[in-house]
Structures are given as structure tokens and as C-alpha cells.
Amino acid sequence: MAEYNTMELMICVASRELEDGASVGVGTGAPCAAVMLAQKTAAPNLLIMFEAGGVSPILPEMPISVGDSRTTWKAIMASGMCEIMETACRGMLDYTFLGGAQIDMYGNLNSTRIGADHQKPKVRLPGSGGANDFGSFAWRMMVMTPQDSKRFVEKCSYVTTPGWISGGDSRTRSGLAPGAGPYKIITNMAVMDFEPSSKRMRIVSINPGYVEKDVHDNCGFELLRAQKISETRAPSDEELRILREEVDPYRYIIGR
């Protein structure tokens, strides 16, 4: 088995979640690498949508922005942001990848501010962009993020993108589509999903090189445990070859 770094592991794990024929709303960076890898391996008919309007491209190489011309390479449509968001609103987006500075036990995300005072926060973050739209309307939201207790917090300073809100049926009661919401959280240490009843984050697998205590110690709230916790499958030689030679040969992402 070839050696790999943390970013390569996270990208490979995320790519395996995307089945052939699914639709996914994606931005740039590691999520884009994951969908490219999926398209070149087990999901050749993956329908990729970019926030700026590219629909179902065959990505020749890593785009540097959601409006990069490569996001419409051999695409079925070069549309705009309104068309993409309307497609999500109609329930036609199976997956999306999002991130933020904070995430809580229900998968709520903060990419707006750190600190209680909205006018004078400790840190001003870039805000929602299209994250709230994608997170509100995609059927399954996934997050790829490093894990530490400052990022995984008991309560977000600000909820930019709703997850399972306060757990249970609170998301449905808010008016969002029943059944849609956070799906998997993929970190450098583990993979988490959400317990079906309480909607609280729980550990489902531990990444190679870590133990369960590492995951708990680097989380600011109590994580639930799946009935059976497995070891995350390491990247295969073929996955790494495609990732390094075809997806990100200049190591823009995997070189971090």
C-alpha cells in the first residue's frame, strides 16, 4: 500500500460516498477533487453542478474557482447561479459539500462570524455565499474538515447554514424538506454521521493512525457512537494514482 497524506485520505473517503448517476453541488478545493475522483472511478455518470452555473462538465483538470471556464468543459449547460439554486430548490440536488469555521453536534455550520457581537466580532468570516441555499435544499450535505475542539463546538456563534438545527424533527418543523440534511462529516481523524432519531453526530469509523480517544479529545461536544465502529478504508493504489496524476497533478489541494 502506497503512503498517503491526510488530505488524500479525506478526498478518497469522500469520493466513495457519491454513487453513479447522482447529482452533486460543489465548489472548489478538496470537495472538487473528491467529485473529480468519483467521476474517474466508480461514478462516471456523476452530474456535477457548480454554483456559478456549470452543469455536468467533464472536468479536464482542477478548476480554481466556481466560475472557471473549466467548470463548463464539455458540460451540458453553461447557466447561472439562479438556475443552479432553483434546481436545488426543486429537490434535484442529491449531494453538496460545505464547510465552515464552526460545526456543532447537529451539523449546523458557521461561516459568518466568531464571537457574540455581530457588529464587532472576534473574527469576521466570508459569509454564506451559496452555502445556505445548498445546505437547505440538497438532500445530503457532507462536510470535509480538519478536526479540533475549536472547530467542533457545542454551539455555533452564528448559524450560517442549517443542519439538523436543534435535533429531532426541528429541521422539518422549520419548513425544510423532510429527510434532507447533514449526511457525513469527514475529518482527518474519523467519519461521522447522524443518529437517526436525535440527529446528533456520531462516530461511524476511525481513520488509520487514530483511536477513538483522539476523536473525542478533539471535539468540543460529546459524540455518540455507532453500534459498530469500523476502521476507515485507506486509499487504494489506484485511487492515489488517479488523484495524483489526473485530478491534482500540480498538488494544489493534496499538497497542503
Where residue 20 sits, what CATH number does that domain have?
Answer: 3.40.1080.10
Q: Do residue 154 and residue 172 come from a single domain?
A: yes
Q: Do residue 219 and residue 141 come from a single domain?
A: yes
SS3 173: helix
Strands 190-194 and 181-186: antiparallel
pLDDT per residue over 99-138, tens digit each? 999 999 999 999 999 999 999 999 999 999 889 999 999 9
Is 245 tagged catalytic? no
Distances (CA, A) of 189 to 23, 87, 116: 27, 34, 29
pLDDT per residue over 229-248, tens digit each? 999 999 999 999 999 999 99
Q: How many domains does the chain have?
A: 2
Q: Do residue 184 and residue 146 come from a single domain?
A: yes
pLDDT score of 90 more than 80: yes
Residue type (1 letter), 168:
G
Ranges of beta strands (E only) in 99-163 are: 102-103, 109-110, 113-114, 123-124, 140-144
Q: Do residue 73 and residue 161 come from a single domain?
A: no
Q: Do residue 175 and residue 240 come from a single domain?
A: no
Q: Do residue 165 and residue 127 come from a single domain?
A: yes
Pick from 219, 220, 201, 216: nearest CA to 106: 201
The catalytic position among 19, 51, 195, 231 is: 51
Pick from 191, 117, 107: nearest CA to 151: 107
Q: Do residue 116 and residue 143 come from a single domain?
A: yes
Angle between helices 6-15 and 30-39 (to 10 degrees): 50
Q: Do residue 186 and residue 125 come from a single domain?
A: yes
Rg (CA), the chain: 18
pLDDT per residue over 163-192, tens digit each? 999 999 999 999 999 999 999 999 999 999
SS3 137: helix
Q: Do residue 120 and residue 224 come from a single domain?
A: yes
As a whole number, mean pLDDT of residues 142-170 equals 97
As a whole number, mean pLDDT of residues 158-163 equals 97
pLDDT per residue over 60-78, tens digit each? 889 989 999 999 999 999 9
Q: What is the pLDDT of residue 1?
A: 58
Map 73-128 to HEC letters: CCCCEECCHHHHHHHHHCCCCCEEEECCCEECCCCCEECCEECCCCCCCCEECCCC
Residue 70 to residue 58: CA distance in whole angstroms: 9
Q: What percent of the chain has pLDDT above 90?
A: 94
pLDDT per residue over 15-50, tens digit each? 999 999 999 999 889 999 999 999 999 999 999 999
Whether the predicted model's global pTM rises above the 0.75 cut: yes
Residue type (1 letter), 119:
Q
Q: Residue 193: give the domain boundaries.
A: 94-232
Q: Do residue 200 and residue 165 come from a single domain?
A: yes
